[in-house]
Each structure stands twice: as structure tokens, then as C-alpha cells.
């Protein structure tokens, strides 16, 4: 069978299918390091993904897997404490799956933050995680090929999984997808022990995620924007917000910057698609939560495929 898409969702689906006994090929337009996944901060956080009930379930599965990977050599996954800022009331249900969470004290909140939740979450250094995931796929027998797909009819395989982010909708006649542009800045890590998420900051989405060798500062979420070149003015605003919340970053030099296009959609599409022929499974529209939902969604994809295709298909 073929998985179309080589980002974190596509590769995770391929790995789960291979572990279920299928012969799997991944067909991707770009190598993993050039996908939107590579731009991600990435921290476990169910951000801009719907529907809420399914997202909570998928995210909980991924939380368990990523927590298990934390500290394993080569994965790039670590567990770090930090604070989720709440500016519009208390925490919502997205954080219910996180064990040990508690209200933040006033001393633990950044300047101007009225409330927050303290918890420990998986932080994923994508520059290491994606190569690890790719190598793990290959070790499981997955063939990974580079190539652009314009029509599903041109894709070989007894079954197809469409997990190509923004490129998925056109393959399935679905026009509901929309890019959500995000810009991040990598700065040198001055030794920050904790991350910070402030989705409702009055000046825009703000997060600070230390990963050991660097700190990812974000961000933006511009629906419908398609540019992938960093904007210096946006970068300055992102850094100003991050440094105001985390003063230790004020002298941290900039290492790099990047822009990615999150695959937005009114709801994640994860279902069997009736094409009148071989089984086709859609798995896309994860918004800003691809890493966070990847393992849970991949498990559901494997279950859907199992209903229509036996092992070694």
C-alpha cells in the first residue's frame, strides 16, 4: 500500500501500518526536512485542531507514545516543565490528558499573565525526530520515495493513505483546506529550563520552547497566507513578545528563522473515502497539531485499513 505524504503524520501512519504487517511505500513530494513538520517548535499541544472530542483522544494517544520516547537516544524527544498561560478563564479540556497538571502560582506566571497551568510535556526537536522516524520506518521495511502526486489514479498500491497536509485536499476533491502561516525564530539557548505557551497574548500567539541546542520563539497564525519567506517585521514582533515574557532571551543571538504553512481545515479528516475501488483513507487537516495528533491518528488509520485490507497487502 502507499502513503502519500512524508511529513510527521505520513511517516507515523506508514510506521504503524508496517508494524501491523503491511508492505508500505511512502511517496512524498519533499524529503522530511523540507516539510512543514520540520518548522514545528514542536511541543505537545492540541493547537488549532478540531473536532475537540476526537482531538483529545488522538492527542492522549500521542502523549503516551511521545512520553515513552522521551530520553531514548536519537529520538529528539525530551520531557520539560512549563506554563500554559490562560487569559480568558481557566484551562480548557485540551489539557485534561496531561498527568500532574496544576494551577500556576503567581510567582510562576510571566509578567501580565492572569492565570496558567503548570505541567510537564514532551518537547520534540524535529531536526532529530524526523530522521529518527524516517530511519525507524525504513527499519520496519517501509520504502520511502520522492515524487509528486497529481492524481490518486497514478498511485500504485492495493490501498492508499492520503496524509500530505495541504496537498491532500486537491487529491480528494476537497476544497475546505486552508493554509495557516506560521513564522518562528530560533535563538541560542541561554539555559532555559522551561517552555511557555501564551496562545491568547494580546499582541498575538506567543510561545518559547527551549530544546537544549536552541530555543524556538513563535509565532503567528495567519489564515490564508501562502508566503514562505520570513518577514523581518514579524520576526521583530515575535522576539519582542518572547523577550518580554522571558527576559533571559534578551541577549540570545538569532540562529535562524523559518515560515511554515499549517494544514488548516474546519476539522481533521480521518475516514475511509469511497472511490468505488481500492480502499482510500484520508488523514489530513491537523492544523497546528501534527506532532501532537500523529500517533493517535496513525492508530486510527491502521484500524481503518485493517477493515478493508489484510496484512501484507
Single pTM value for the model: 0.96
244 pLDDT above the threshold of 60? yes
Q: Is residue 278 part of a domain?
A: yes
What is the extent of the structural domain holding 35?
Answer: 2-308
Q: Is residue 136 part of a domain?
A: yes
Q: Is residue 200 part of a domain?
A: yes
**Torsion sign over Cα 159, 165, 167, 173:** positive
In angstroms, rounded to a whole number, what is the distance separating the alpha carbons of residues 221 and 201? Answer: 13
Q: Is residue 242 part of a domain?
A: yes
Q: Is residue 10 part of a domain?
A: yes
Residue pointed to by grid coordinates 491532500: 168
Q: Is residue 249 part of a domain?
A: yes
Q: State what percent of residues in the chain have pLDDT above 90.
A: 91
Phi–psi pair at 162, nearest 5 degrees: -100, 105
**How far, in Å, are 94, 167, 296, 308 from residue 277 at the CA level?**
37, 21, 26, 11
The pLDDT of residue 88? 83
Structure confidence at residue 18 as a pLDDT band (50, 70, 90): very high
Q: How many domains does the chain have?
A: 1
Nearest to 229 by CA among 192, 193, 259: 259
- Kind plus residue range of the DSSP H or E element containing 65: helix 52-69
In angstroms, rounded to a whole number, what is the distance separating the alpha carbons of residues 101 and 31? Answer: 37
Q: Is residue 313 part of a domain?
A: no
Over residues 149-197, the pLDDT tens digits come to 999 999 999 999 999 999 999 999 999 999 999 999 999 999 999 999 9
Structure confidence at residue 210 as a pLDDT band (50, 70, 90): very high
- Count Cα neighbours of 198 within 13 Å in the Cβ-side half-sphere: 25
Task: Kindly state the average pLDDT of the residues 37-53.
Answer: 94
Q: What is the CATH number of the domain that holds 268?
A: 3.30.9.10
Amino acid at each position: 500500500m502507499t502513503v502519500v505524504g512524508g511529513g510527521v503524520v505520513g511517516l507515523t501512519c506508514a510506521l504503524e501500518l508496517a508494524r501491523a504487517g503491511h508492505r508500505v511505500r511512502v511517496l512524498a513530494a519533499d524529503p522530511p526536512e523540507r516539510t512543514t513538520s520540520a518548522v514545528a517548535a514542536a511541543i505537545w499541544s492540541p493547537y488549532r485542531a478540531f473536532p475537540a472530542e476526537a482531538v483529545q483522544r488522538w492527542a492522549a494517544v500521542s502523549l503516551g507514545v511521545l512520553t515513552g520516547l522521551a530520553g531514548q537516544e536519537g529520538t529528539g524527544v525530551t520531557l520539560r516543565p512549563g506554563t500554559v498561560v490562560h487569559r480568558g478563564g481557566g484551562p480548557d479540556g485540551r489539557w485534561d490528558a496531561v498527568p500532574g497538571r496544576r494551577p500556576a502560582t503567581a510567582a510562576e506566571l510571566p509578567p501580565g499573565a492572569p492565570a496558567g497551568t503548570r505541567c510537564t510535556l514532551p518537547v520534540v526537536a524535529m531536526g532529530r525526530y524526523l530522521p529518527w522516524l524516517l530511519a525507524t520506518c525504513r527499519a520496519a521495511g517501509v520504502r520511502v520515495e520522492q515524487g509528486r502526486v497529481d492524481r490518486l489514479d497514478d498511485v500504485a498500491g492495493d490501498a492508499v493513505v492520503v496524509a500530505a497536509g495541504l496537498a491532500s485536499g486537491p487529491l480528494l476533491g476537497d476544497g475546505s483546506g486552508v493554509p495557516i502561516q506560521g513564522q518562528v525564530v530560533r535563538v541560542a539557548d541561554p539555559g532555559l529550563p522551561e517552555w511557555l505557551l501564551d496562545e491568547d497574548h494580546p499582541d498575538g500567539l506567543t510561545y518559547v520552547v527551549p530544546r537544549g541546542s536552541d530555543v524556538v520563539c513563535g509565532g503567528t497564525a495567519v489564515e490564508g497566507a501562502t508566503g514562505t519567506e520570513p518577514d523581518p517585521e514579524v520576526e521583530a514582533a515575535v522576539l519582542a513578545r518572547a523577550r518580554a515574557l522571558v527576559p533571559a532571551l534578551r541577549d540570545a543571538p538569532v540562529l535562524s528563522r523559518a515560515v511554515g504553512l499549517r494544514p488548516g481545515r474546519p476539522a481533521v479528516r480521518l475516514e475511509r473515502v469511497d472511490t468505488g475501488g481500492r480502499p482510500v483513507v484520508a488523514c489530513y487537516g491537523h492544523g497546528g497539531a501534527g506532532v501532537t495528533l500523529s500517533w493517535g491518528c496513525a492508530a486510527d488509520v491502521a484500524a481503518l485499513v485493517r477493515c478493508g485490507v489484510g496484512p501484507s497487502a
